[in-house]
Amino acid sequence: MRHLVDAHSLIWALDDPCRLGTRAIGVLEDPAKRIGRRCRNDLGTLHQGRTGKAFPVSAFPHLDGKALVDLGVVVSPITLVVAEQQMSLPFHHRDTFDRLLVAQCLVEAIPIVSADSVFDQYGVGSIWE
């Protein structure tokens, strides 16, 4: 089964694996499960919690193509189907990137590896603890 991997999960997997939930570790360590699909746009600007502070991906030099390959992560483009799904979502959450993740999960019927509970509001399966 494929999973979508939220940006903070990737950062923590590389920088501070102790911050990952037990189930998240299981998915990221299992080669059969850890393939994630992720929007490159969201990796370009990472947000720190709910503060709204944005960090360029260059602030994380270890998050390069090799690191993604080592984790078994495949970066995916935003398709028209995903964009259309995002536009039809209710406004439980206004973060554009999170809404794109929700849309991708719904379109592909895949869960997300994330500590963020906002995905539950959209019926997306979140894997963490």
Would you kindly state where each structural domain of the chain is located, as residue ranges?
4-127
Q: Answer yes or no: are the C-beta atoms of 24 and 9 closer than 8 Å.
A: yes
Indicate the fold that domain 4-127 takes in CATH. Answer: Rossmann fold (3.40.50)
For position 48, what pLDDT does the model report? Answer: 44
Cβ 92 vs Cβ 122: under 8 Å = yes
Q: What is the pLDDT of residue 57?
A: 52
pLDDT of residue 12: 83
Positive or negative torsion for Cα 89, 90, 94, 98: negative
Pairwise CA distance, residues 22 & 31, whole Å: 16
Per-residue pLDDT of the chain (129 residues; tens, 9 = 90+): 788 888 888 878 877 888 999 999 888 877 665 445 443 445 544 444 444 444 455 556 666 667 667 767 777 778 899 999 999 999 988 888 889 899 999 998 989 999 998 999 999 989 998
